[in-house]
Structure 1
Amino acid sequence: MSGPGIHRRGWSLVATTLAALCVGLAFRRVFESREVLLVTVLSAIVPTFVVAACSGGPKRFVVDAEQARATRPLWPSVVLSALAWLLVVSGTLFRDRAVGYVVPTPGGVRDIGAAVVNAPKSILTTVLPAPPDGELLVLVSVCVWVAAFASAELALRTATVSLPALPALLAVVVPVVLGVGGPGSNVPVMIAMIGAIGLLLLIRAPQRRPPMGTALVGAPIVVALACVAGLLGPDLPGTRDRRPPDLRDLVELPPPQRLTGISPLDRISAWLMSPDQPMFSVDGPSAPDRYWRLTVLDRYDGSSWYPVRDLRATAGRVPDSPDGRPAVLTSVVNHVTLRDLGDIWLPASDRPTGVDAPGLRLRVDPVSGVIASGSGLRSGTRYRIDARIPALDPDRLQYLPAAHDPANTVLPESDAVGRPIPALEALRAKAVLATSGSTFPYQQALRLAQWLRASPHRYDIAAVPGHSYRNLQFFLETSKEGTSEQFATAFAVMARTLNLPTRVVVGFSAGREGANGVHEVRSGDVLAWPEVEFEGVGWVPFFPTPGQATDTGAHKQAPEQKAPTSSTPAKPITRAEKDRQIAGQSRSGPAPDPATPVRSHRERTRWELFAAAGAGVGVVGYLVSAWLGPVLARRRRRRGGPREQVIGAWRQINEDLVGAGMRTSESLTVGDVADYGATRLPSEAADRLPGLAALVNDIAYGERTIDQADADAAWRDRAIVAGAVRRLDGRPRAHVRAGHRMRPSSVALVFRSPDRGRE
């Protein structure tokens, strides 16, 4: 029988089940691992048992592949597997719609079918990890079940070595594609998948290969390849900096979340006129130089700025910014209790990484990190928010180019009848004047903010609200008084005329610290500020509002954030101090980013380490194979019938005499080998060679009957010859013998089948 034998075909089910388990575990980036585990285990094991039962059990594994296809129809296995899947899914994911929590009702069957169809799109429109709802987890069950069922059937019905691995390889594509952008990494799962497939190939290897040699050498090779793939795969050239394809960019989002109430930017003046209205309280670290962001406004039509609207459902995770992030200065955890804030926006410190808000159906804008609720927020709502405070380094920012982001540089250039807008031209002229002499985007932004903060512009909570082109022109040319609404929006519009991508953020200052370290944030603490996007770092805040106090005593000024520096801790240099230095500098040309050569050196060092590790694995594997080759060859030659054992003893004597200096030419006859031994070995060993040589010739060319006694005698003769060779004075030196053992022909003995090359 060709192909896998009776036991190998049955043991293949172990490997196919492991591969199916890897398919389910690959969903770890889509769902929380603990939610996937039960569904994965049941969906991998149950169909395997169904296939084994339909095949008649282990006794049926003895049939040949062709006979199996002819005698066992496929449809009973398919039907039973489908029924078993319905029961498992109904009893685990749809229990509330099942009779006795197991048997699905007709309505439950329809719900399961609809969930299977809708799950992929629902996952693609959700920020990962997705909530562990049965309507979404059903996709895990389908992928794992199909992979396990198809692989098991192919393992029992076909004689091919690798075909049973194909269903799992195809099925794992689903979680890998859906998991793009999710937390964690699937590298460990892919290593396990490679190991499971390698095990399958070893189990189903053709029987002409020696099982022990295949197991001893093949298994370490499979493990080494899996580890090398896991180490090198994520760092292949172009993979680390290249964003993997994400189907979320192609899927049509649900209708935008409807925003309730008035835009927070339009409410700034009203809040400032009633400054003592409690907005929310913060329990946990809240430094006085940190601001609480409420929402981001990134679209401007010449009259108003509009909040972000591409909100996706989330279970609480906020994805990393797609346009880069600065280094993290610190991580903070806060508990926020809402008061009279209203609307749908949840305050957060900088860009959060996660939100735990029981009872709220959360939405997140993946680009800005803004968090919103699916409905209006009620007073008393409490949630936990985790955030990473960035370390903005002006020394690096000053040389970075602005990001290429046309959507955040666009401005309406003409009115409804197609005529140029005079107010926009006036704002552009003022922006050019304010940034005159600046040579880099960061310096341009600093000088623009400096110009707005300078006299005669003044902060006044009673200023006329509004941020249209005409409002901003009136603010800059006539009144020269405004709240942070006018200063922030004027900066954002003027910077866009300079081709700097900008957006406006509305938030609050830290508020007043009360009892037990709880900060009380009131309506008078509201503030707006602009942000500019830089290549490789993302959005950087600027603060053009003058530092004049309001009636509540809250100062509206730039946070004095400490910048990374080598100065002593006693006198840290703040970002504001460095910004003032950079804004006043004169430059004639660009300077290189100091982080670039360091990063390149690190990448080279990483690849050198990987190359050294790969070379080390190869050398160790070769040495182990060279040591195992003769040992395995000797064991194989002792197996088989008496005739095979006699020939094996003679071949072993050939190897021994090569170690004594005999040439290894294949043209030597049995008599030539015996003659060499007679001249090279002492008489005790040499006298045994002629009789054994005659016996080998009789086996090859005669009809002599060989029994086990002849085989045992041949191996006793071989032991005497080997002992004589070890005691030989004139045999080649140790390094010559070691070199012979290291030759590829000696290493090949690990894989050589017992009957290959017999005389």
Structure 2
Amino acid sequence: MSFDGAADTVVVPTQTGAAKSPVDWDRAPKPRQRGAAATLWRRRLWSLPAVAALAAAGGIAYHPIFGLSAIVPAVAVSAIVPVLVAALWNAAGRPANRPRPLLGSLVLTLAAWVLAVSASTYRSRAYAHVLPTPGLLRRIGADLLDAPRGVLTTVLPAPDHPELLVLVSATVWMAAFAGAETALRSGSTVLPALPGVLMLAVPVALSTDAPGHGVTAAAAAIGAAGLLLVCRAPGRRSPWRTLLVGVPWVALLAVAAGFAAPHAPGVGTPPDLRDNVAAPPPVRLSGVNPLDRISAWLLTPDQPLFTVAGPADPDRYWRLTVLDRYDGTTWYPVGGLRPTGGRVPDDGQSPVTKRTKQRVTLDQLDGVWLPAADRPASVTAQGLKLAVDPTSGAVATGSGLHPGLTYQVESQVPTYDPDRLQYLATASDPAYAQLPDLDAASEPIPMVEEFRKIAEKATQGSQFPYQQALKLADWLRANNRYDITAVPGHSYRNLRFFLESSKEGTSEQFASAFAVLGRSLGLPTRVVVGFSRGTQLPDGSWRVDSGNVIAWPEVEFEQVGWVPFYPTPGEAGRSGSPKNDQTTVVPPTAAPPSAPPPPSRADKDRDIAQEQRPEGVVSPIADAPEDGSTPLWWWAAPIAALAALAVSHVGVAAAAPGTLRRRRRRGPPGARVFGAWRQIGDRFGDLGMPHAEARTVREVADFGAERLPAELAERVSGLGTLVNEASYADRDVTGKEADDAWRVCTDVEHAVRRADGREKRRTRMVRALSPRTVVATLRRR
């Protein structure tokens, strides 16, 4: 008969070949067992590299948040150093054959972490670039507390600032230290992996808004956890043999997890903690409203503002900022600015056809806003602290603009198809479709009603929102003149003067009037300030001067997002009117000379503005017919219920044997002795003894004598004698005898688990999961 010893127990053979009870080296440092204790210590040390690997894998899961290059140094130091500290501290207690106090290890690892983080992450603020000062200690503590909230309120990937990276160092260090101490002080196989697995949840929860995914890091963590379990698996194999057998299976498991994880239910949609975190105050940037500067820029038109190197279409406009709030006096730039490392989140609506990259070099442009081609996707600017409004995509910097500043910007370039826009409904966004209609005394403002009447007259005959916007732009161009010397301003009074009296203005008045009149009709509108393409230089770049400034309005449509319109006379033809500047018109070169050019958006818009909506044409948004498909939840709910029932049954089946064992250990001493004997009979059933409850005490004892070591079989026989005497001779059983009975039961259970004649694991699992077995186990007394 052969038995496999547990990972943290040592079986010492006697001179007669019997085996003593398992001995733990932490509790029994006897001379005869010191060799076995040293072996066990080495086995625990073998698991420390796997602990460090698991902590490092959890740290790599931060890469969607910060980028891989920013976190690798902190992860490497924080995964290795605490493991070494724990090993050296506990190794000092080996002569006494017991680990040293945990409190000392905690103090030592805390000091080591402070020194490591000050010498790496906070190197520029540390004394001699290594030692922390009292002020730096307070700074590290405050940053560590604020780092999770800082990550959740920053557009990811986050910049690699020390106040955020300290979170990576602290969590990885904590997981590595806790895993190492657990591995060295505990005989458990699974427990040392728990800190690393729990730490993995931190980057996963914080990276819900980050681009990409952490599947690779999760697969690496699964592989490291499997390696740790292999290193600490029960058995007598040497660490080398254990690794040779287990590593291929662990590698296969990690690869399978990497392929299967993206397709697992719920992957990619974890709870977004940003919904539960109070947003910080918006980044406040001081600067003159660009809309107020249009008249001044136009009066000095030759002032060079910036240069753009990169492709620029004939109708290209460089977007500077977006103004979406109006109080009756002025339009305000977007205020929901959030820190960013350069990424601008995609709004998920714009019909992007391509991305374009430009390199912008500033000249005399000041303020805080960075110009870009349409909505930026990312901005790369060395030495600038950037902030972005996720809704509009406007990018600003708190560092201020200065001549010579250069940055690269990648933008999303949409193409708007009038055939798709023609019958679309506008977005349901009341914040952009309402005008302030009460004054400070809560009295109605008469001009709001006047604007509504003007807008209804201008859009008379319109039958859908896109046609409404086209007619409004056409009306403004046809009834007003462009004049750079016109009175500036865009308040209610200024706009009424512009629409009813002077009928002269710059793009400031035309764009503001369109946005206000549109809102009076319920259209969601906003104003954008930017620049036309500019003048091409000999090197192919484009110089933008102050005279190229222009403002235009935008209307928000369902499924498409914000669509620009150009009501200023002589300006861009993407929304209705061809440009007066004929130098920007590029003749088609791809089509044969005889082939007519494809109609532009301006051509289609002129036709749409005059046509009637045909009968039976429905909006693809509001009037989409039902396709008759079955909703997802009709079949997902029963599947979820069956899955929950299966999981519950497995849980009950796993808990039933433990419940029965605890039930048998309760009660008076006599009942506890009988419970131990019944437990032994059940375990003998795993070795092939049928109907254990129907057999006599002697039959059970004889069965154990044939299959157990001699010393343990003798103890089982003695327990059987005690059971017979208690049953038939009215013997009083003491509490000590009941405790001894359960010790015998525990040793029998260990022996049965190591016996060769035990049923195969698959057979035991099938029997344990059988509903009949579960019910019988729970009903057994």
For 2:59, the equivalent position in structure 1 comes to 24
- CA pair 116-752 structure 1, distance change in 2 beyond 3 A: same
Name the structure 1 match of 2:441: 417
Query: For the residues of structure 2 that align with 1:542 and 1:31, how far apart are their CA atoms?
Result: 38
Name the CA distance, whole Å, in 2 between partners of 1:529 and 1:450: 14
| Structure 2 residue 250 is the aligned partner of structure 1 residue 219 | yes
| Offset of residue 347 of structure 1 | 1.4
The equivalences for 1:286-301 within 5 A come to 286-301=312-327
Question: C-alpha displacement at 1:547, in angstroms?
Answer: 1.9
Q: 1:208 to 1:225 in 2, by over 3 A?
A: farther
Task: Mark the runs of 5 or more structure 2 residues left unpaired by the alignment.
Answer: 10-39, 573-577, 633-687, 691-702, 711-752, 761-781
Partner of 1:674: none
Contact 1:281–1:521 (Cα < 8 Å) also in 2: yes
Distance 1:562 1:131, change over 3 A: farther
**For residue 442 of structure 2, what is the amino acid of its counterpart?**
G
For residue 498 of structure 1, what is the aligned residue in structure 2?
521
Following the alignment from structure 2 to structure 1, what is the Cα–Cα distance between the partners of residues 504 and 152? 47
User: Would the aligned equivalents of 2:314 and 2:585 in 1 still touch at CA under 8 Å?
Assistant: no
Change (3 A) 1:59 1:488: same
1:341-379 Cα offsets, whole Å, 9 max, x none, are: 222222111112222333433332222222223244223
Structure 1 pair 213/102, CA: closer, same or farther in 2 (3 Å)? closer
Aligned pairs (5 A) from 1:311-326: 311-315=337-341, 317-321=342-346, 323-326=347-350
Where do 1:574-593 residues align within 5 Å? 574-583=600-609, 584-588=611-615, 589-592=617-620
Partners of 1:554 and 1:280 in 2: CA distance: 23
> Could you list the per-position Cα deviations for residues 13-52 of structure 1 after superposition, in whole angstroms to 9, with x for gaps in the alignment?
2332222112211221222311210110110011111222
Alpha-carbon distance in 2 for matches of 1:208, 1:426? 91
Q: Does 1:358 align with 2:382?
A: yes
Tell me, in whole angstroms, the C-alpha distance in 2 between the residues paired with 1:46 and 1:377.
Answer: 43
Shift of 1:470: 2.8
Aligned residue for 2:455?
431
Per the alignment, residue 349 of structure 1 pairs with: 373
1:702 Cα deviation from its structure 2 partner = 11
Q: Does 1:46 align with 2:73?
A: no
Of 193, 196, 200, the residue aligned with 2:221 is 193
Out of 109-118 and 418-427, give the one that drifted further. 109-118
Q: 1:96 to 1:223 in 2, by over 3 A?
A: closer
Secondary structure, aligned partner of 2:484: coil
1:390 pairs with 2:417: no
Alpha-carbon distance, 1:511 to partner: 0.9
Closer/same/farther in 2, CA of residues 192 and 387 from structure 1, 3 Å limit: same
Matched to 2:488, the amino acid is P
> Given that residues 291 and 508 in structure 1 are in contact (C-alpha distance below 8 angstroms), is that contact kept between their aligned partners in structure 2?
yes
Query: Among residues 753, 756, 759, which one is paired with 2:758 in the alignment?
Result: 756
Counterpart residue number, 1:632: none
Shift of the 203–96 alpha-carbon distance from structure 1 to 2, 3 Å rule, reads same
More deviation, 15-24/397-406: 397-406
Residue by residue over 1:606-642, the C-alpha shift from the partner in whole angstroms, topping out at 9 and shown as x without a partner, is xxxxxxxxxxxxxxxxxxxxxxxxxxxxxxxxxxxxx
Counterpart-to-counterpart distance in 1, 2:586 and 2:553: 16
Deviation at residue 232 of structure 1 after TM alignment: 1.1
Indicate how the Cα distance of structure 1 residues 290 and 215 shifts in structure 2: closer, same or farther if over 3 A, else same: same
Residue matched to 1:167? 195
Deviation string, structure 1 residues 66-86 (Cα, Å, up to 9, x no partner): x96xx5421122122112212
Q: Secondary structure at the match of 2:61?
A: helix
Q: 1:524–1:554: 8 Å Cα contact kept in structure 2?
A: no
Q: In structure 2, what is the equivalent of residue 37 of structure 1? A: 72
- Aligned position for 1:626: none
Aligned residue for 1:477?
500
Query: Please, which moves more after superposition, 412-421 or 530-539?
Result: 530-539
Checking the alignment, whether the CA contact within 8 Å between 2:149 and 2:277 is kept in structure 1 is no
Q: Distance in 2 between matches of 1:154 and 1:344?
A: 52
Could you list the runs of 5+ residues in structure 1 that have no partner in the other structure? 605-665, 669-697, 706-750
- Give the partner amino acid of 2:322: V
Please report how far the alpha carbon of residue 243 of structure 1 lies from its aligned counterpart in structure 2 after TM superposition. 8.8
Look up the match of 1:116: 144
Given that 1:289 and 1:561 are in contact with CA atoms closer than 8 Å, whether structure 2 keeps it comes out as no
Q: TM-score with structure 1 length normalisation? A: 0.70
From 505, 512, 534, the counterpart of 2:535: 512
CA distance in 2, matches of 1:513, 1:9: 71
Could you tell me the TM-score, scaled by structure 2's length? 0.68
- Cα 1:399–1:27 change in 2 (3 A) is farther
Quick check: 1:414–1:421 contact (8 Å CA) kept in 2?
A: yes
Across the aligned residues of Structure 1 and Structure 2, the Cα RMSD in angstroms comes to 4.4
Change beyond 3 A, Cα 1:223–1:178: closer
CA contact (8 A) 2:570 2:579 kept: no
After TM superposition, the structure 1 stretch with the greater mean CA deviation from structure 2, 368-377 or 40-49, is 368-377
Partner in structure 2 of residue 522 of structure 1 = 545
- The verdict on how the C-alpha distance between 1:3 and 1:444 changes in structure 2, with shifts beyond 3 A counting, is farther
- C-alpha displacement at 1:414, in angstroms? 1.4
Residue 508 of structure 1 deviates from its aligned partner by 0.6
Contact 1:281 1:519 in 2 (8 A): yes
Write the deviation string for residues 134-157 of structure 1: whole angstroms up to 9, x where unpaired.
Answer: 333221110100011112222233
Question: Post-superposition shift, 1:561?
Answer: 12
- The sequence identity of aligned pairs, in percent, is 49
Q: Structure 2 counterpart of 1:95, which letter?
A: R
1:298-332 Cα offsets, whole Å, 9 max, x none, are: 110011101122323333x13223x4232433322
C-alpha separation in 2, matches of 1:397 and 1:752? 74
Which moves more between the two structures, 414-423 or 431-440? 431-440
CA deviations on 1:158-196 (whole Å, 9 max, x unpaired) are: 333333232223323332333332333222212222332
Once the two structures are superposed, residues 460-517 of structure 1 have per-residue CA deviations (whole angstroms, 9 ceiling, x without a partner) of: 3233322222322333333333221122112212222333322100011001112211
- The amino acid across from 1:318 in the alignment is R
With over 3 angstroms needed to count, the CA separation of the structure-2 counterparts of 1:226 and 1:398, relative to structure 1, is farther
1:250 aligns with 2:250: no
Letter in 2 for 1:458: R
Partner of 1:73: 101
Q: Read off the aligned partner of 2:216 and give its amino acid letter.
A: P
What is the distance in 2 between the residues matched to 1:346 and 1:91? Answer: 35
Give the alignment of 1:280-679 within 5 angstroms: 280-315=306-341, 317-321=342-346, 323-453=347-477, 455-547=478-570, 555=580, 571-583=597-609, 584-588=611-615, 589-592=617-620
Given that residues 124 and 251 in structure 1 are in contact (C-alpha distance below 8 angstroms), is that contact kept between their aligned partners in structure 2?
Answer: no
Aligned match of 1:151: 179
Distance of 1:284 and 1:213 partners within structure 2: 57
Q: 1:36 to 1:532 in 2, by over 3 A?
A: same
Residue of structure 2 equivalent to 1:130: 158
Post-superposition offset of 1:246: 4.2
